[in-house]
Amino acid sequence: MTMPRSYLYFLAVPLVFVADAAFAHAIVVASTPLPNETIAASETEVEVRFNSRVDRARSRLTLVGPGGASVVLPLADGAAETLKSRASGLEDGRYRILWQTLSVDGHITHGEISFQVKR
């Protein structure tokens, strides 16, 4: 017994969409600064690049300083898969960049990147 091709098509198409949705979460593929990097400057570019497009209007970067104070960084224009900003007035100590983004699959993902300023 053979199955008509049209039945195979109707069975396979939904599986393709389910697979795409499962793999569309935004995953960090690169960042500036790098995780655990030490920089020797009072300002730095902040850029987090993801494996897929992100909704920049519903995403944010927050800088947490050595004392625990935090500030939401204004996002600059950039590629559809990046969140980009600039941090200035950095003093010596350990910082964290908290990122939160809405990926194309409609899921919010978040994480953090730590770095240190030492002059």
- How high is the pLDDT of residue 17? 44
In the chain, the N- to C-terminal Cα span, in Å, equals 75
Please check the confidence at residue 11 and state whether its pLDDT lies above 60. no
Burial class (CB in 10 A: 0-12, 13-18, 19+), 96: middle
Enumerate the β-bridge partners of residue 96. 64, 114
pLDDT at 4: 60
**What is the pTM assigned to this prediction?**
0.79
User: What pLDDT score does 18 carry?
Assistant: 45
Average pLDDT over residues 82-99: 98
What mean pLDDT value characterizes the chain? 87
The pLDDT of residue 7 is above 80: no
Interval 27-56 mean pLDDT: 96
Structure tokens at 17: 């969409």
Q: Cα(98)–Cα(91) distance, rounded to whole angstroms? A: 18
- Which has more confidence, 21 or 110? 110
Task: Look at residue 105 in the predicted model and tell me its pLDDT.
Answer: 83
Domains in the chain: ranges and CATH: 28-117 (2.60.40.1220)
Decide: 116 and 79 in contact? Cβ < 8 Å.
Answer: no
pLDDT of residue 103: 87
